[in-house]
Structure 1
Amino acid sequence: MILVFSTSPGPRRSAVPRAGRRTTRSLWEAVGDDPALRAAYRLCRARTKRQDPAEYALIQLVPAVMRPACWALWAAANAIDDLADDHSVDAERRAERVGAWIAALDHDVATGSSTDPVRRALVDTAWRWRLDISGLHGAMAVVRRDSHGQRFADWNSWRAWGRGTLLPWFDQVRDLFDKAGAGMALRLDRQEVYTTFLDGVRLTDILTDLSADLAQGDLLLPGQALDRFPGCEDDLSHRRWSPATAALVTDLTRLARAWVTQPALAHGMHPGPAVVLDTMAGLLRAQLDAVDAAGPALLRTPPRPSVAATARLVVPARARSALAWSLTPVTVPRPREARAPAVPAQSPPARRPVFDRPPPHPSGEQPPRIPADRMPTHVAVIMDGNGRWARHRGLPRHEGHRAGRAAAREMVYGALEIGLRHLTLYTLSTENWKRDGEEIGAILDILREELEDYPFQDLDVRVRWHGRPERLPQDVVDSMRLRERTTRDRTGLTLTTCINYGGRDEITRAAAALARRVRDGELDPDAIREEDLARHLPQPDMPDVDLLWRTGTEQRVSNFLPWHTSYAELYFTPDHWPETDRRHLWQAIDEYTRRQRRHGASADSPVPGTPGTAPPSGTAEDVGTSDVPG
């Protein structure tokens, strides 16, 4: 949730039927008997109901014990939006106020309380439900930058901004559902469905608040969309309703309606959150109907759906949600224990967590010293030879995979010790489903055990999963997504595990995403560049692979990261994967430093900043980067 239909300050007339004034025991048993805390949550509820009645109606569809947490999250998001949108002061002062609010939240999280009621409720929510709200820093930083105004050249920059402000808040609600013990993580068939839906949320919000934004001199639409209707940008800046403006609004409402209509959004989901999301999508479409019907009035006042239109959605949704939640007992968080009083306001904010060092290698061997300009950024590993290792020892193949788990941990320890930034491990390919069912089952069981035990909890490791959720057990998908969310702010090693991954598949998915953008008029097919396809890959921020290492005697790349390995150094070793440890990774990196990388240039003009300005004496020439073009 955290559906912000409008982020402009000021009260709004409710377009949603008023909920009853009933305050049940179940509503407040998640808060306790602290009068000041109850008052803080009541304030968050009142603000939600007054400023965003549609969001309030959606929160009413979740179990009562979870509602105070939802009010706190919404009120916090809106509080910093209001500070950024307060044009009674200049942009620099707005940014200072947002920054001060963020710094105060850091302090409040460290001390466990706050004198500000909204932050008090948010801190209590985070503590009580064990939410890691440090993930909100990125979204808050975007809002702070917004205080100086925003302009977007194209849809890509617009999407990055919109998702940066919405995704972290949505993820907090997902974590809340997880902590409630009802298995309510958003079970999406495709991550693209999720993010496209959020794009629709943001675009609906902008169209709704067009009049308020224009009054403040803001136009939060990409230039790429405006350029399709010559003259509309000037008309909008002067708040003129023209044929160009009307055509732009019609086109954008059509696009937003397509984005929020995602039939796969609730596939595989518990019926409770499924009702919430279905209702949310319905309210968004009703809002877009109001935008379409507003005509010239859209530039003067925010349009609102009629009470009858929203009632047709909300009233039956309440009955469906009550039935859905009755099927699942929700875990009520335990009463909050007494904490030490807040320290004075001048105390420093919370420090970044201190992570452990990886355990040393049993031999005591240390990694080689690699100059920074020769160190690879990204090493990808095809962990081959598990089955052959087991067969040579008279063991079933799955015992090889179990033995290989120790080698994978060793690689993470070795990567941390040598200072590698990105390590990607090929764990399960889309082709591996052809193998014996017992072997696949054993691999999945090992994955479950690793996700549950999670040996890197105290290390500075950010975990990412690359692959498709289809065919994977839902509990494995949910566990992987949870590990991604809980480690997303770690800045040491990024560990990507490729599970149910296929290289051609990811390129095909990127091409399909580009085709949809061309179909929707967002992209000129004759102007598509490599960078456009790269931005539509499932992991668009994954850096190119510098070194691709495969164990187990085979010398092929096996459909592994074809886009990212186009200029990778290839390194093959005969050891079976369970026979390797971190020292083998260090040897691979040391070998990388001896390669000359030219990226298609001649031997006399190597690419600056890459290992080896000339081939070291007695070493091989660059693999795959000879004098042939590209």
Structure 2
Amino acid sequence: MPDRLTSSSNERALRAAYRHCRRAVRRRDPVEYAVMQLTPPALRPAWWAMWAAFAAADDIADDPGTDRAERAARLHAWTTQLDGDLAGGRSDDPVRHALVDTVHRWDLDLGTLHRSFTTLAADTGGREFATWAQWSSWVRGTNHSWAVEGLRLLARAGVHIPLWLDRTESYRRYLDGLYLTDTLADLGDDLSRGELLLPADVLASFPGAEDDLRAGRYTPAVRDLVSHLTGRARHWLHQPELLGGLPPGPAVVFDAATRLFLARLDAVDAAGGKLLHQPTVPSRVTRWRLLAPARAQTALARRLLSCPVDHRTPPPPAESRGTVVVESGPVTSPPPHPGGARPPSLAPGELPRHVAVIMDGNGRWATQRGLPRSEGRREGSTAVREAFHGALELGLPYLTLYSFSTENWKRSTDEVSELFALCREELRTHRFAQYGVRARWAGSPEGLPEDLVDELLRVQHETRHQTRLTLTLCLNYGGRAELTRAARALAHRAASGQIDPARIHEADLAAQLSLPDLPDVDLLWRTGGEQRVSNFLPWHAAYAELHFTDALWPDTDRRDLWQAVTAYTHRRRRFGSAPRVPEQPRSSAPAPV
């Protein structure tokens, strides 16, 4: 049970809320409950709360006793109350109370979960799918957010699940397999509400099956349809390659979950006419046979791996401008400056380790020329390439660019959309690894187009082993929001007894930031004539040297970066100490009278 309790009354209410969620999962879905019980005990209440919350919202959206408008209004009221409960830290509703505690305790993103509620809101008028593609898209809309937060929950607990971009389609098929299994097992419940959550094209392939299903008749056409669908679900679930690379504990849970869902499909095939009138689950004997060894194996894995290790380590800094050999072979030098300019000769010890840039002036550049603001962004993308080409030539280890702040959402929808389209284009066309650049993203995915997030993660994954230059793109980033999330995470750790508040140091807060291994900023350069830091890297830039220039960002190139770095080398950084007074030379001449 959760151990962060603020009072005896809250303790009783919270424990009762989690017990309510636990009973709901165990009663309504014994298979998924069994899978949850294979995870570490500290995580189980969170799984119960998340499952129960989605089930509660889904029940409202599916309630056959109310019309569409009433269902939509009730669901809106429920999610609005959840937002208020989250702000207040508790709820009178047991499911929401447990979910609020889970979100706060594990620092989950309720915004991500809201996406599934949005999909459910669209379902209040009924769900119909013409094709498997539409069905799969709907499944991802309702379940993807919960999968993302499930992975976040595991990571918060120190259980890091590696994901591979080349397996993306396999992950999606597997999730489709899980949901198709659930759909078939719950066919009777759905039919009782007048719902048939299967694509029209597959129903049309078995003449008469749809009418028979809606009439509650188990006919040969229905039997053949069910057999076809269980075969499809087995095909989607049987992907043993997804086990590769998983840690021992999660691998056991994944394998056991797959076996349980396959057993559920066996039960569907064997149910006959009962399938249309009651939920289908594997027998207790079957569940025990599959779960007993899995429980022993996961318990052993937890004992052997009781101290999870975070394998994230900062890359070694670039030492020189020479050729760097990486996994894929030698990297190439960046293209030279069009005018033949060469970087200044600076000793490695003089260079800043980390340069951060606020790229200001794109819109003004376009306005001054009578062009759409988007043209300023496009021209500014050329300056971005110049900047990191110049950083490579100079030998800088870290370069961070402020691409889009959380405050930039105040701009017009067209301008924001054009910016995101340009970002996608740059990410897809530029070969960062060719130059030995490790590209990383700092910021929130909330509100960003899904395909842009996919591109950011793809580039981050593909360049993760490069060591010549770490280029961090701050997109949808806000410094105060980052510090707030870090403080919230520390508060949760302190409240749950994981850390002594009296012993919290700077390093503890830094470890909760988006990129814990990002070094402090040595030089912060802003273009465009403004002299402010605009909520950019407040933690990292605490002791940064500031450099402001009047040139608008599209008018800059790598030479401006070199000039900023040269100016930095002439600064005397004291980090709060008093300036050293040079010793006066001694003289044998008498002092003047």
TM over 0.5: yes
313 and 390 in structure 1: CA distance in 2 versus 1, 3 angstrom threshold: same
459 and 161 in structure 1: CA distance in 2 versus 1, 3 angstrom threshold: closer
226 and 109 in structure 1: CA distance in 2 versus 1, 3 angstrom threshold: same
**Post-superposition offset of 1:362:** 8.1
Give the Cα separation in 2 of the matches to 1:61 and 1:178: 16
63 and 230 in structure 1: CA distance in 2 versus 1, 3 angstrom threshold: same
Aligned residues: 418
User: In the alignment, is the contact (CA less than 8 A) between 1:84 and 1:144 conserved in 2?
Assistant: yes
Which blocks of at least 5 consecutive residues in structure 2 are unaligned? Answer: 309-356, 482-550, 557-593
For residues 488-539 of structure 1, give each alpha carbon's deviation from its aligned partner in whole angstroms, at most 9, with x where no partner exists: xx9xxxxxxxxxxxxxxxxxxxxxxxxxxxxxxxxxxxxxxxxxxxxxxxxx
For residues 453-486 of structure 1, give each alpha carbon's deviation from its aligned partner in whole angstroms, at most 9, with x where no partner exists: x3x569986762423888665999xx99xx9999
Name the SS for the 1:368 alignment partner. Answer: helix
Give the Cα separation in 2 of the matches to 1:298 and 1:420: 50
Residue 206 of structure 1 corresponds to 183
2:215 is matched with which residue: 231, 238, 241?
238
292 and 212 in structure 1: CA distance in 2 versus 1, 3 angstrom threshold: same
User: In the alignment, is the contact (CA less than 8 A) between 1:84 and 1:147 conserved in 2?
Assistant: yes
RMSD: 4.3
**Post-superposition offset of 1:118:** 0.9
1:424 aligns with 2:413: no
Give the Cα separation in 2 of the matches to 1:233 and 1:460: 39
User: In the alignment, is the contact (CA less than 8 A) between 2:256 and 2:291 conserved in 1?
Assistant: yes
Residue 464 of structure 1 corresponds to 453
User: In the alignment, is the contact (CA less than 8 A) between 1:376 and 1:420 conserved in 2?
Assistant: no
Give the Cα separation in 2 of the matches to 1:370 and 1:255: 59
- Identity over aligned pairs, percent: 37
User: In the alignment, is the contact (CA less than 8 A) between 1:188 and 1:264 conserved in 2?
Assistant: no
Residue 287 of structure 1 corresponds to 264
**Post-superposition offset of 1:172:** 1.3
Give the Cα separation in 2 of the matches to 1:294 and 1:458: 44
Residue 484 of structure 2 corresponds to none
User: In the alignment, is the contact (CA less than 8 A) between 1:171 and 1:485 conserved in 2?
Assistant: no
**TM-score, normalised with respect to structure 2:** 0.61
364 and 428 in structure 1: CA distance in 2 versus 1, 3 angstrom threshold: closer
Residue 361 of structure 1 corresponds to 360
For residues 557-588 of structure 1, give each alpha carbon's deviation from its aligned partner in whole angstroms, at most 9, with x where no partner exists: xxxxxxxxxxxxxxxxxxxxxxx974269xxx
Residue 402 of structure 2 corresponds to 409
Supply the AA of the counterpart residue of 1:368: T
**Post-superposition offset of 1:304:** 2.2
**Post-superposition offset of 1:231:** 2.2
Residue 215 of structure 1 corresponds to 192
Residue 583 of structure 1 corresponds to 554
User: Higher helix fraction: Structure 1 or Structure 2?
Assistant: 2
1:327 aligns with 2:304: yes
For residues 280-302 of structure 1, give each alpha carbon's deviation from its aligned partner in whole angstroms, at most 9, with x where no partner exists: 11111101111112223322333
Give the Cα separation in 2 of the matches to 1:82 and 1:459: 26
Counterparts of residues 333-344 of structure 1 (less than 5 Å): none
Counterparts of residues 22-421 of structure 1 (less than 5 Å): 27-29=1-3, 34-184=11-161, 189-329=166-306, 361=360, 367-368=366-367, 389=390, 395=394, 399=396, 405-406=399-400, 408-409=401-402, 419-421=415-417
187 and 411 in structure 1: CA distance in 2 versus 1, 3 angstrom threshold: closer
Name the SS for the 1:190 alignment partner. Answer: helix
363 and 320 in structure 1: CA distance in 2 versus 1, 3 angstrom threshold: closer
Name the SS for the 1:409 alignment partner. Answer: strand
User: In the alignment, is the contact (CA less than 8 A) between 1:84 and 1:98 conserved in 2?
Assistant: yes
Supply the AA of the counterpart residue of 1:303: T
**TM-score, normalised with respect to structure 1:** 0.58
**Post-superposition offset of 1:326:** 2.3
**Post-superposition offset of 1:145:** 2.6
Give the Cα separation in 2 of the matches to 1:378 and 1:263: 45
Supply the AA of the counterpart residue of 1:409: Y
Range 375-384 or range 225-234, more displaced: 375-384
User: In the alignment, is the contact (CA less than 8 A) between 1:72 and 1:125 conserved in 2?
Assistant: yes
User: In the alignment, is the contact (CA less than 8 A) between 2:404 and 2:477 conserved in 1?
Assistant: no
Rg comparison, structure with higher value:
2
Supply the AA of the counterpart residue of 2:281: R
Name the SS for the 1:220 alignment partner. Answer: coil
302 and 376 in structure 1: CA distance in 2 versus 1, 3 angstrom threshold: farther
For residues 212-266 of structure 1, give each alpha carbon's deviation from its aligned partner in whole angstroms, at most 9, with x where no partner exists: 2222221111111112122222222222223322221111111111111222323
45 and 31 in structure 1: CA distance in 2 versus 1, 3 angstrom threshold: farther
43 and 415 in structure 1: CA distance in 2 versus 1, 3 angstrom threshold: closer
